[in-house]
Structure 1
Amino acid sequence: MCMTQLFQGQVCSNTYACRTDLNLSCQPSCDFTYRCSASPTAGIGLTVAGFCNGSTDAGTLGVMGPWGIYVSPFDGILYVTNFDVPRFQSFSPFSRIGSTILSKGLSSPEDVFADSSHNIYMSDYTINQGIMYIQRPGTNLTSFPAIGQSDSSCSLTGLKSVDGVVVDRVGNIYASLSTCSMIVKWAPNSTTGILIAGYPGYYGTDSNSLDWPRFMHLDEDRAALYVADSYNNRIQKFIIGGNGTGITVAGNNGAGTNLNQLSRPSGVWVTRNGQTLYIADSNNNRVMRWNIGDTQGSVVAGSAAGVAGSTNALLSYPGDVALDPTETYLYVSDYYNNRVQ
């Protein structure tokens, strides 16, 4: 039996609810519903979490200082860390109402990753044992430190100033320790990490060094780890199991707004075919698309000139990026606008 499809402006709750013959799809609305409307024009953002106008709210409708985001490839749930009012939220597909997963015990939540079993890993910058593992057995959530031990030094037995976290299929955890300028891999149940990139506590500009690494993307099929090397204004690619030498795949031309430059990038996402990067170019208030092998990128969201703003065509310090499971939509944490676009 065919289901009746909806017209322009009607409230919808799934991908196929709207009149496709009229080129309508189910899109987020500023009244905190999803409604049938034409697909957005390229470069124009729609708010999927928080208030469209950038208002702050600590309730279920708002996000406050959204920083790390992740869209689960398994169920499409959007996960958001709130840096300014420490909490961790989830938004179900076609819902503008957030659910707080965790707030107690958080200080400066940064990144988030969800595995195929819907377990969640979340980093907290100012907690020395800074990666939380959140089990999801039904609705009874339990959380506890995932790896390491409390350690305020740049050692391989603890965690300090964790920004990014990703996890591979067998449970190895990769953590970027920004103030330590290194990437560390933790095998399941291990008590000591393995140095993947950088030197503990040493900031550098050469291909073996990092300076304030932030978020990462793991391309497991190609054994490649991409790192937003923020203070070096570049994206580095490291081969898992390699010698720790990074390959610059974007930027490294000084801070600036030219198309071959980045300025304090924070987030990076790689398409499934391994050919294209999306970069949260934070200080430039824009998102860049950069094809592997190219010497410059293109601006896909925000101002090409680096201008901050709160309209639906502008961003203000984007922190992270993520693609949806179909790689149709790009999600951006719009930090100072208190929204996810």
Structure 2
Amino acid sequence: IPIIPADARWAQNGVTVAGDHGEGSDTNQLNGPSGIFVVDDDQTIVIADIGNNRIIQWKIGDTNGQVVAGGNGQGNRLDQLDRPTDVLIDKETDSLIICDLENRRVVRWSRRSGTTQGEILIDNIACERLTMDDQRYLYISDYDKHQVKRYQIGDKNGTLVAGGNAKGTGLNQLNVPTYIFVDQQQTVYVSDKDNNRVMKWNKGAKEGIVVAGGQGYGNALTQLSNPEGLFVDTLGTIYVADYGNSRVMRWPKGAKQGTVIVGGNGYGEGANQFTNPMGLSFDRHSNLYVVDGGFLGNNPVQRFSIE
């Protein structure tokens, strides 16, 4: 996790690093991308390309990406994906772990060349998004049960770590949990999308704490509108893709309102605008990567350099 200075600022105009050729299925295009994973060692980003039923990997600076999972049409065979929403790299096994949404499963694909299909890790799960902590526990948000569970690789049952008390607005409830971030203390942060808030669940807690938003749907600095991508730095500062407001916000630990770090200039396709910001991530130099996805999006991945 990079140490991002408290007074950090980012370039206001993004540079497209993937998917600069409009919406489509070629390897220089994306179609409704969402989750992103940044690999620092070789300047690579891995993207869940929902509308193309594939995971695509892009070396920064390349015009075309490379399909690394799926891409064999929409379906439930082991060589197929059906609207994959999120992806991570498990460095220990050098494999991709993927939320295969419409197939209601979590699958693993080796990154070794010659891999033609994946294996099922967990099935019968309404997998919305996923992440992994530094002890290799997997965390998965479930949009049917409005909960987040933690899994050891190989365990199909998991342990409830957030929500799970039906859909609702209570502190022990979630309403469509999407992106998750887990810190070194196994504290779970979750974008509670339809409650317009980010929740923090300490390890073992029975209810969460509102750490961003939670003041209804709107565009004030105290509000979020259907938050998506999420990142928490070592200071506990929250970075969140405020999907409905076409902006990325930063909420310092304990703050009652956030600040806009990029976007917030209306809904649009300019270099300083977003349509529907989804996944976000940082590289080790604290440059920000944002997926402008959603099916209304102009579909590129943009990098905002730290100044």
Q: Answer yes or no: same fold by TM over 0.5.
A: yes
2:272 matched to which residue of 1? 313
Deviation at 1:116, TM superposition (A): 2.4
Is the 8 Å Cα contact of residues 72 and 325 (structure 1) preserved in structure 2? Answer: no
Percent identity over paired residues: 30
**How far apart in 2 are the matches of 1:73 and 1:172?**
21
Deviation at 1:140, TM superposition (A): 3.5
The 3-state SS of whatever aligns with 1:84 is helix
TM-score (structure 1 length as normaliser): 0.78
Of the three residues 180, 187, 198, the one matched with 1:224 is: 187
Q: Structure 1 unaligned runs (5+)? A: 1-39, 152-158
Structure 2 residue 197 is matched with structure 1 residue 234 = yes
Of the three residues 247, 252, 270, the one matched with 2:232 is: 270
Is the 8 Å Cα contact of residues 262 and 281 (structure 1) preserved in structure 2? Answer: yes
CA change 1:192–1:325 in 2 (3 A) is: same
- Higher relative contact order, structure no. (Cα contacts within 8 Å, ≥ 6 residues apart): 2
**How far apart in 1 are the matches of 2:206 and 2:90?**
26
Is the 8 Å Cα contact of residues 17 and 60 (structure 2) preserved in structure 1? Answer: no
The 3-state SS of whatever aligns with 1:95 is coil
The 3-state SS of whatever aligns with 1:179 is coil
Deviation at 1:176, TM superposition (A): 0.1
Structure 2 residue 170 is matched with structure 1 residue 206 = yes
Deviation at 1:74, TM superposition (A): 4.3
Structure 2 residue 69 is matched with structure 1 residue 102 = yes
Is the 8 Å Cα contact of residues 301 and 315 (structure 1) preserved in structure 2? Answer: no
Offset from partner CA, 1:178-222 (integer Å, 9 cap, x none): 12201111123223221111126x111111110000011111x23
**How far apart in 1 are the matches of 2:108 and 2:138?**
11
Deviation >6 Å, runs of 4+: none
CA change 1:141–1:85 in 2 (3 A) is: closer
Larger radius of gyration: 1
Q: How does 1:72-83 map to 2 (within 5 A)?
A: 72-83=39-50
CA change 1:41–1:133 in 2 (3 A) is: closer
How many residues of Structure 1 are paired with residues of Structure 2 in the alignment?
A: 282
The 3-state SS of whatever aligns with 2:227 is coil
Paired AA for residue 216 in structure 1 = I
1:22 matched to which residue of 2? none
TM-score (structure 2 length as normaliser): 0.86
Is the 8 Å Cα contact of residues 71 and 325 (structure 1) preserved in structure 2? Answer: no
Is the 8 Å Cα contact of residues 281 and 287 (structure 1) preserved in structure 2? Answer: yes
Deviation at 1:141, TM superposition (A): 5.6
**How far apart in 1 are the matches of 2:130 and 2:109?**
13
Deviation at 1:75, TM superposition (A): 3.7
Is the 8 Å Cα contact of residues 76 and 325 (structure 1) preserved in structure 2? Answer: no
**How far apart in 2 are the matches of 1:236 and 1:41?**
25
2:255 matched to which residue of 1? 294
2:3 matched to which residue of 1? none
**How far apart in 2 are the matches of 1:199 and 1:287?**
28
CA change 1:169–1:79 in 2 (3 A) is: same
**How far apart in 2 are the matches of 1:168 and 1:303?**
31
RMSD between superposed Cα atoms in Å? 1.9
Offset from partner CA, 1:71-129 (integer Å, 9 cap, x none): 1244432011112222110012332320011223211110111122332111022112x
Is the 8 Å Cα contact of residues 74 and 116 (structure 1) preserved in structure 2? Answer: no
Paired AA for residue 39 in structure 2 = S
